[in-house]
Structure 1
């Protein structure tokens, strides 16, 4: 099963709560870039990792998010869940601001739900995922969405989503109906991603603090199926973590300078970095930009979607 990367089209930090967690506002987008995960029943937990970033995955079970996900399901459904063997093709860089680990945990939830016939709704899987990581609930769906709170407030944007049957949990806020865009769809974006093959500590970024918090912006949700409106929205938003991340990883500034030289609609960092992305009006402009970036930054991880 595919385990999709997550991109924050923008990321605003609205303030700090009494429990020291930060409130955020963001739009998540899931491009066609992914890890791959296969799972079979086993008499003991085993993890086999291949792919470009295989050497970055912890082999000690207690340090691995896939194993933590298995343990959580075992705790909740001890009579149904056995051990598993996991085959992970790790194509996405680790600790890169694109939700790779969270996506792997979410995919594990989806796969085990099917493998062990748990018959859990997506909402219930997302509720379980929130105990594993703040980005896991969104990755359970892997569809365009507005995210608020500390990551638990999810408003799906595509118009083809099914209705939820179970009542809303107290820990997870989901707004579905038929999707916020009615019968319309969030458009596919032409995206270029770059990572300098360096990780950035999310914890350090938040510990550095913020000069000012952002105000929550108004999003005209009924216009989000129009590419022009999305571009306009991106021009009046930002990533509030970007400034601190650049102090920890100056290569981010270098990447953004190179991306802006390709005349994109927007170029910014995703999540807590160090992955950056740029969006282009057409596939042709995207491909031309990728050629230019590969020439200028040949040692970096570069992908198009």
Structure 2
């Protein structure tokens, strides 16, 4: 049986500015979003009815939840309903990324599931039904569905393609704490920011780090006030040789360091893992297109 595989790549907010708050209570955002080669993996195949299997190092917390509350299940059932067909699908989620960690997690999984099922059912990648469903699942799902370096505005659903990033590597570090996005936003204090979009995309990773240093993640201080390990993760990254920039992604708690090459990111990961063996530490390349992430293993699977 042919299965379809899709990468649910880690989403990184290279900067994240909170511009204000709308009358409906939602915060207005401005962010440059990139993706890393570290990823979850979705595999879908025709099934007798609907089933969702979850495997991998971060599967346990999801296995303890009701299947219907999983964003993957919500995504594919919403697509099936929109197409007026049964969700007769066998889906496996290989959960390699930490849960509730600021790197897209469930949103990336939902987007990858939409892409995979669309391919299985013969839909074009730009079919409007996918774009209609994505924002109903969460603010990060549209950018994860697009799967390319982009700016987002509004609540995260207004996307503008960004020029390709220079070749860059990151070290992802999660100190083992989960943060609630609403709680982090509620803890944010101080003035709102202006948009921070770059006039031109820097040509080198060093120049990219310089440009990002003039910007920030406006949720970082709030997250640190709720979880001291976020501060510790940022400090650990800053101490590694070759770290050009250390920053938290999204509402945390995952932080990333920016490096010029793979050797620097791997060496930094080894250094941090020795002193913090309980942390999740993952070197990865920044990718401008999620399709560049290799997702085909052994067997008769097709990657999208």
Match of 2:97 in 1: 92
Shift of 1:226: 4.1
Alpha-carbon distance change, 102 to 240 in structure 1, aligned in 2, over 3 angstroms: same
List gaps (5 residues or longer) in structure 2. Answer: 1-5, 285-304
Query: What is the alpha-carbon distance in structure 2 between the residues aligned to residue 193 and residue 124 of structure 1?
Result: 33
1:101-120, aligned counterparts within 5 Å? 101-119=106-124
2:243 is the counterpart of 1:243: no
Match of 1:134 in 2: 139
Q: Select the structure with the greater relative contact order (CA < 8 A; seq sep ≥ 6).
A: 2
Q: How many residues align?
A: 277
Shift of 1:241: 0.7
Shift of 1:120: 5.3
List gaps (5 residues or longer) in structure 1. Answer: 158-180
Q: Is the contact between residue 206 and residue 260 of structure 2 (CA under 8 Å) also seen in structure 1?
A: no
Shift of 1:152: 1.2
Match of 1:30 in 2: 35
1:4 pairs with one of 9, 21, 28: 9
Please give the TM-score of this superposition, normalised by the length of structure 1: 0.86
Shift of 1:24: 0.7
Shift of 1:124: 4.6
Query: What is the alpha-carbon distance in structure 1 between the residues aligned to residue 204 and residue 133 of structure 2?
Result: 33
Query: What is the alpha-carbon distance in structure 2 between the residues aligned to residue 123 and residue 262 of structure 1?
Result: 45
Match of 2:194 in 1: 215
1:78-89, aligned counterparts within 5 Å? 78-79=84-85, 81-89=86-94
Shift of 1:277: 0.5
Query: What is the alpha-carbon distance in structure 2 between the residues aligned to residue 16 and residue 121 of structure 1?
Result: 31
Query: What is the alpha-carbon distance in structure 1 between the residues aligned to residue 125 and residue 247 of structure 2?
Result: 36
2:109 is the counterpart of 1:68: no
Query: What is the alpha-carbon distance in structure 1 between the residues aligned to residue 101 and residue 128 of structure 2?
Result: 26
Shift of 1:37: 1.0
Query: What is the alpha-carbon distance in structure 1 between the residues aligned to residue 275 and residue 72 of structure 2?
Result: 36
Please give the TM-score of this superposition, normalised by the length of structure 2: 0.86
Shift of 1:86: 0.8
Q: Is the contact between residue 41 and residue 84 of structure 1 (CA under 8 Å) also seen in structure 2?
A: yes
2:159 pairs with one of 154, 157, 164: 154
Shift of 1:224: 4.0
More off after superposition, 82-91 vs 7-16: 82-91
